[in-house]
Structure 1
Amino acid sequence: MRILPCLLLVLAAFVATARAEPSVSLEGPTAGWRYNGLNERDGEARVAYPTPPIDRGAQRGRSLIEGRLKDLADARQPYRLVVNGNPLPLYTDAEGRFVRPYNFGAGSNSVALSVDGKTVKRVQFYEANQSKTPARLRIALGWDDPKAELDLHVITPDGQHAFWAHPVLSNGGGLDVDSVDGPGPEMFTLAAPPHGTYLVYVNYWGNLGPQGYNFQAGSNQNDLITAQINLVFNENTVNEKRETFVVPLRAIGDLLLVKSFNH
C-alpha cells in the first residue's frame, strides 16, 4: 500500500525537474538572420548587456544575436554561446536576456546555446548576402569574467598591429566591435590574409565595476580568468581548420603571447 505514495513522490520530483528545464527564445528567422548591424534607424547604438559595444572595427554588416533564457533558477552563469563552432562565455541580465554581436559571412552559419554543458537551442541558417566576404582568417576571444576587460592584439606579417586603439589595418583586416561589457567576443577578421608570420596576444587591461573602468586588483569576479581564443581558417568552407587555446590571466597588465603562426 506504500507503493502509491512513493510513486507520487517520484512523479512530483519528475515534474519539478521538468519545470526546471531551461527554455530559449532566439530572435531571427531560420532562413536567414536579421540583417541590422549595430545601429537602429535613429542612429542609436543597440544595447548589449550590460553596456553597448564600442564600434571601433573595420568590419561592417554585423548581426546581433538576441534572445532570452528562461527557467534558469538552478543554472550557473556563464552559459555557452557557440557561433559557427566558436564557443564563447555568455552572461545575461537578471531576466535572462542577452545580445551579442557577430559578423556572419556568406553561406551556412550556426548558433547554439548550452546551459550546464547541455545544448538547449540550435539554429542553422544560410546567409544569402553574397556581398559579405567570407572570413579566411578569424580570431575570436572570449573570457569568463564579466567584471574584467580583456583585449585582443594581432600583429600581421607586414608589421601592422591591430588592437582597440588601432582597429583598422590597411591590409583589409581589422578588429570587430570592441566588447566592453566583460566576456566578449572580440574578433579579428581578414578576408585575404597576407603570407607570413602572425602574432596573437591577449592583454588583461583592467576591470569594470558600477562606477566604470578601474585598475584595482580584486575588483573583478574571479581570481583566475580563463580566456579562450579560437583561431579559424576558411570559416564555413570545406577547407575550414581551427585551433583553440585556453590561457589563464591573473593580474591586470598581463600580456600573453597566445600563438605565433605562419600562413
Structure 2
Amino acid sequence: MVIRVAMNRISPALLSIIILFSMVAGAKARTPALKYPGKSAGGLSVEVPAGWLADQADANVKDRIRRLRDRIRNDLSLIVVVTGHTDTFGSPAENMAIGYYYAHEVANQLTTVSGFPEDRIDIRSAGESGALVNHGGHDAQRLNRRVVVSLASPLEKVIKPLPEPGTNPGRVLILEPRAGTVNRSYQRLTAIVEGDSNTALLTVNGISSLIAVNKSRIESEIVLENGDNLIEVMAWDQSGRFGRDQVKVVYVPPPPQVELTHPVDGDVFNTTISPVIQVNGQIMSKTILRETFLFLNGSPRRIEVDSQGRFSQPIVLIREKNKLRVEALDIFGKTATSPDITVKTINMAPKDMVVFLTWDKPGVDLDLHVWGPEGKHTYYRALDPYDSSEAIPGGALDLDDKDGFGPEVFTLADGPEGIYTIGARYHHSLKGTPCKAQVTVVLHPAEPSRRITRIFGPFTMSPGINSNWTVARVSFPHESFVSGSSQK
C-alpha cells in the first residue's frame, strides 16, 4: 500500500526555518554507510510522504515497515535504501539537497522508532528527477514530495561511487573549524562552495540542516559534543554535479577553575566571639561537576555547589595557622584546585578535643551529640553552657549544619575529667535517604607533639533503622580512646 499526503514545498526563503526545525526535531543525517548505489532486491518497498512520522503511520504501512526491518535483520547481504524525492519547483541543486533532507528525516524515524540498524541504511536523493507530476502548483505536486524505502544488494565497483571527502576540494571546502582538538563547544563553521550552488546540506554528528549558500560561502554556528565530532558539508550545482568535504574535530572541555573569594591568604580572625568563618567562592566549569571538597588543615570535607558554581561553606578554625584549599572534580575526571591559602587566628583558646561529623548526601540532617561527665549533654538544643545548663562545661557545638554535607563541630576546652561519649543521630523529623557518616576526633589539635587524630566510619545511617550511632568514648585527662565505632 502506498500512502501519499500533501506537504508544503520548502522554498529557499524558508531555509532558515528548516535549519531550526531540523535541530529541534533531531533529524539524523548519515554519511551513506555504503558510498555507492546498489542493485534493487525487488519485491518489498514502501513509500511515505516527506515528514513522515513512524508512530502515526496506519497499520498497513507499519506492517510493511516491520517486514522490511525483519528482512534486513535476517539477510546481512541487504541494505535499506532511503531515497528522497521533491517537486519540480526551484533549481535541481536545491532539490537534490531537499531530497537528502527528506530522506534523513525518514531514516531517523526508521532507526529511532522502528528499530532499523543504523549502519545498514543508505541515504540518497533523487531530487526532482523522479517527479510523478510535472505541472500545477504546490498542492498539485504534493505527490512528488515523498520518500521511498526499499531493499538493495550492494554492487561495489559496478557503479561509480559518490566522491570521497576532499577529492574535489575546489567545489566544497570547510575552512573552519579545522581538524584537530578544541576546548570550546561553540564553533563557527565557514565553508566555500564554488560554482552556482545556492543550497547545501550541513551535517554535524548526524544532525542535518539545509543551509543557504551566499556568494559561494557558508557561515553557520555549530555546537560540538564532548569527544569526536564529524562535520560534513554537501552541495550540488545547477547541473547536478556533487561535492562534499568533512572534518573531524575533537572537543575536550577545559578543566574547571576554582576561585576563592573569602577568606584571602593572610587574613587574621579574632576567635574570641566565634571560631566559625565562612569560605566563599565559585567554580567555573564547562562540564557537570561530580563532587567538590574543602580541605581544612589537610582534612577533606564535601561541600555543596549551586547551579552557578557558587559555594558558601562554614568552617571552624582550630589552630593558630589554618590552611585552606578547594578542589573540584567533573564527570570526566578532570580536577581543578584553588591555590592554598593560610589564615591565622588570635585569642585562640587551646582545645583539648575537636569532633567533626560529616556525611555524603545533600539534604540530610545528622546531629552530633556528646555526653560528658555528670550527665551533661551537648547537642543542637544545648549548644554550650551559656545556652543551656544541660550542656557540657567547657564544651560547645560551634557548628550545627542542617543541610549540605556537614560538618557539625564540637569543641572542648578545660572540660571536667571523666568519660566523653560521642554519638550521631539521624534527625527524627526527616524521612530522608540513607547516607554514610564519618566522624573525625582530634585531641589537642593546636599542639603537634600531643595531637592525636582518629577517624571513625563510614557508617550507614538512615531514618528508623540505624538512626543512632555511638561513635567513640574518650577519657580525660588520660587522653585515651576507651572504645570506638560501635552501633547503638
Q: 1:225 aligns with which of 429, 435, 439?
A: 435
Shift of 1:204: 0.6
1:256 aligns to what?
469
Q: 1:242 aligns with which of 453, 465, 472?
A: 453
Distance 1:126 1:81, change over 3 A: closer
Check conservation: 1:112, 1:119, Cα contact below 8 A: no
SS of the residue 1:181 aligns to:
coil
Q: 1:225 is aligned with what amino acid?
A: C
1:123 aligns to what?
340
Q: Deviations over 1:5-64 (max 9, x none)?
A: xx95356669954623333334222112566x8xxxxxxxxxxxxxxxxxxxx9724211
1:97 aligns to what?
310
**Structure 1 ranges of 4+ moved more than 6 A:** none
Structure 2 CA distance for aligned equivalents of residues 96 and 25 of structure 1 = 12
Following superposition of structure 1 onto structure 2, how do residues 147-186 of structure 1 map, counting pairs within 5 Å? 147-168=363-384, 169=391, 171-186=393-408
Tell whether 2:294 aligns with 1:81: yes
2:135 aligns to what?
none
Structure 2 CA distance for aligned equivalents of residues 148 and 135 of structure 1 = 28
Shift of 1:135: 2.6
Shift of 1:251: 2.5
Aligned residues: 223
Structure 1 CA distance for aligned equivalents of residues 256 and 392 of structure 2 = 49
Check conservation: 1:247, 1:258, Cα contact below 8 A: no
Check conservation: 2:258, 2:336, Cα contact below 8 A: no
Structure 2 CA distance for aligned equivalents of residues 110 and 193 of structure 1 = 27
Distance 1:29 1:20, change over 3 A: closer
**Once structures 1 and 2 are overlaid, which stretch shifts more, 170-179 or 9-18?**
9-18
Q: 1:32 aligns with which of 259, 263, 267?
A: 267
Shift of 1:165: 0.8
Larger Rg: 2
Distance 1:113 1:72, change over 3 A: farther
Name structure 2 gaps, 5 residues minimum. Answer: 1-177, 184-226, 228-248, 385-390, 480-488
Name structure 1 gaps, 5 residues minimum. Answer: 1-6, 38-57, 207-213
Structure 2 CA distance for aligned equivalents of residues 62 and 178 of structure 1 = 11
Q: 2:298 is aligned with what amino acid?
A: G
Check conservation: 1:59, 1:176, Cα contact below 8 A: no
Check conservation: 2:269, 2:345, Cα contact below 8 A: no
Shift of 1:72: 5.7
Check conservation: 2:356, 2:410, Cα contact below 8 A: yes
Which structure is richer in relative contact order (CA contacts within 8 A, separation 6 or more)?
Answer: 1
Check conservation: 2:371, 2:392, Cα contact below 8 A: no
Question: Percent same amino acid among aligned pairs?
Answer: 23
Structure 1 CA distance for aligned equivalents of residues 255 and 300 of structure 2 = 24
Q: Deviations over 1:52-100 (max 9, x none)?
A: xxxxxx97242111111221623213x2112123322211111111112
Structure 2 CA distance for aligned equivalents of residues 256 and 59 of structure 1 = 31
2:324 aligns to what?
111
Structure 2 CA distance for aligned equivalents of residues 205 and 197 of structure 1 = 25
| TM-score of the pair, normalised by structure 1 | 0.73
Q: 1:201 aligns with which of 423, 428, 450?
A: 423
Check conservation: 1:202, 1:255, Cα contact below 8 A: yes
Greater share of helix residues, 1 or 2?
2
Distance 1:205 1:102, change over 3 A: same
Distance 1:68 1:205, change over 3 A: same
Root mean square deviation of aligned Cα? 2.9
SS of the residue 2:180 aligns to:
helix
